[in-house]
């Protein structure tokens, strides 16, 4: 812990205590020091602030691609979806064709973005309860040579499914296509080497595994792939190339008003990720949280939606208990009263709820949650 960090932690004036712990896929529970970092104002024009932005951009590139050459990063106002839309609407050439690999709501959302912008696109649907198949992808790319870009979701937060991104990337690159990865819910929480994957665009946001607060997203991109976006943008505010060029030419300046407090908190979150031991250490903590959660929930009679081999350490879907008296809303309210916010399910075929274990969440928190769940099994 840095001196600054402990100083901020010790600051009792830093605001009210949180009434509950968020066990959700973002926004998630942040540390008191990340929240405290927001307690001053910044000028977007000033050097101090822009240097902070540059520092963040460098750290993101280094997290995603290590010391590999040829990668850059760009920050974009809005939630994660704004960044996905910025990439899709800026990267696709007029005569390009996008293939979207879908097995959940976030894949579907990418296909919807393409449709809104009138981009030639096809979605290849896989069952919600199965990972994307690299073999079927290879068959598809074999058949359709018009495809220029492929978009894949790393962790499909809808179910908690971890798609086989290394194999997917391998196939996409074997066919020489541009690779876009929605790594929103995994980046910073699961080791991922964008350079080894040869990913062209990798998207995530401030309020997921880096453990910042919401307000902007970011794209880590091959510099050459980003340069190719020049003049392709279909939106003014979401033009990824223009945003990047302004940041490059003006030393960290955003084109339009940036979420200054969120940016400062994000910087603090990056420092704390480093202090924790980096992505590998954070991954271990999340994975330990997830194992503890599943063991405890299974002991209490709950069943996981996904087999363990496909389950991410990010968020877990549980089937509703098979009991007529179970009401999710009641269960949710009771856990909220006990200090824990869980998440509803999002899939079509089965009734589920979700519990996230990312954010400022530790084994003791999961143990307390399990006690609260045990105390609130009111239906049997």
Ligand X SMILES: *Cc1c(COP(=O)(O)O)cnc(C)c1O
| Positions that interact with ligand X (CB under 6 A) | 25-26, 79-81, 106, 153, 157, 182, 184-185, 205
- Closest distance of CB 338 from ligand X, Å: 25
Q: Which is nearer to ligand X, 205 or 290 (CB)?
A: 205
CA distance 98 to 146: 9
Contact between 211 and 185 under an 8 Å Cβ cutoff? The reply is: no
Contact between 317 and 354 under an 8 Å Cβ cutoff? The reply is: yes
CA distance 84 to 77: 12
Q: Which is nearer to ligand X, 183 or 292 (CB)?
A: 183
> Tell me, what DSSP letter sits at residue 311?
B
Instruction: Give the residue from 211, 209, 187, 208 showing the smallest Cα distance to 199.
Output: 187
Q: Which is nearer to ligand X, 50 or 290 (CB)?
A: 290
Cis-peptide into 347, omega within 30 deg: no
Q: Which is nearer to ligand X, 30 or 50 (CB)?
A: 30
CB burial of residue 48 (10 Å; 0-12, 13-18, 19+): exposed
Q: Kindly tell me the number of DSSP H helices and DSSP E strands found in the chain.
A: 14, 14
- Closest distance of CB 207 from ligand X, Å: 7
Q: Which is nearer to ligand X, 184 or 197 (CB)?
A: 184
Owner of token pair 């856990």: 335
CA distance 89 to 231: 11
- Closest distance of CB 178 from ligand X, Å: 19
Q: Which is nearer to ligand X, 92 or 162 (CB)?
A: 162
Instruction: Give the residue from 234, 229, 222 showing the smallest Cα distance to 89.
Output: 234
Q: Which is nearer to ligand X, 215 or 321 (CB)?
A: 215
- Closest distance of CB 185 from ligand X, Å: 3
Q: What is the 3-state secondary structure (H, E, C) of 212-248?
A: CCCCEEEEEEEHHHHHCCCCCCCCCCCCHHHHHHHHH
Which pair of tokens denotes residue 141? Answer: 């790319």
- Closest distance of CB 337 from ligand X, Å: 26
Q: Closest residue (Cβ) to ligand X?
A: 80
- Closest distance of CB 234 from ligand X, Å: 18
Q: Which is nearer to ligand X, 79 or 260 (CB)?
A: 79
- Closest distance of CB 82 from ligand X, Å: 7
Mapping DSSP to helix (H, G, I), strand (E, B) and coil, where does residue 152 land?
strand
Alpha-carbon distances of 271 from 18, 34, 320, rounded to whole Å = 22, 10, 39
- Closest distance of CB 212 from ligand X, Å: 12
């Amino acid at each position: 812990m840095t001196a600054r960090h402990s100083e901020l932690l010790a600051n009792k004036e830093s605001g009210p205590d949180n009434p509950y712990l968020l066990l959700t896929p973002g926004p998630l529970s942040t540390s008191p020091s990340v929240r405290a970092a927001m307690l001053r104002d910044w000028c977007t024009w000033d050097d101090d602030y822009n240097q902070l932005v540059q520092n963040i951009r460098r750290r993101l590139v280094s997290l995603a691609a290590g010391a590999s050459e040829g990668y850059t990063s760009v920050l974009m106002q809005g939630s994660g979806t704004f960044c996905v839309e910025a990439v899709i609407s800026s990267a696709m050439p007029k005569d390009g064709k996008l293939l979207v690999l879908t097995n959940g709501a976030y894949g579907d959302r990418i296909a919807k973005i393409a449709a809104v912008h009138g981009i030639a696109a096809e979605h290849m649907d896989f069952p919600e309860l199965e990972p994307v198949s690299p073999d079927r992808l290879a068959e598809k790319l074999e058949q359709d040579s018009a495809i220029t870009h492929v978009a894949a979701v790393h962790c499909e937060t809808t179910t908690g499914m971890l798609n086989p991104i290394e194999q997917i990337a391998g196939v996409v690159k074997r066919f020489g296509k541009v690779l876009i990865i929605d790594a929103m819910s995994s980046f910073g929480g699961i080791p991922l080497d964008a350079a080894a994957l040869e990913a062209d665009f990798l998207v995530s946001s401030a309020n997921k595994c880096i453990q910042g607060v919401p307000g902007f997203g970011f794209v880590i991109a091959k510099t050459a792939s980003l340069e190719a976006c020049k003049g392709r943008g279909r939106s003014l505010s979401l033009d990824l190339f223009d945003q990047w060029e302004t940041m490059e030419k003006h030393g960290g300046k955003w084109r339009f008003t940036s979420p200054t407090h969120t940016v400062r908190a994000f910087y603090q979150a990056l420092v704390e990720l480093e202090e924790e031991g980096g992505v590998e250490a954070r991954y271990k903590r999340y994975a330990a949280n997830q194992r503890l959660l599943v063991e405890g929930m299974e002991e209490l009679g709950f069943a996981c939606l996904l087999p363990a081999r496909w389950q991410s350490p990010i968020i877990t879907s549980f089937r509703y208990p098979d009991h007529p008296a179970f009401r999710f809303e009641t269960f949710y309210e009771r856990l909220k009263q006990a200090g824990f916010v869980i998440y509803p399910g999002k899939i079509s075929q089965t009734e589920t709820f979700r519990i996230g274990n990312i954010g400022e969440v530790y084994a003791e928190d999961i143990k307390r949650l399990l006690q609260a769940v045990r105390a609130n099994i009111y239906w049997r």
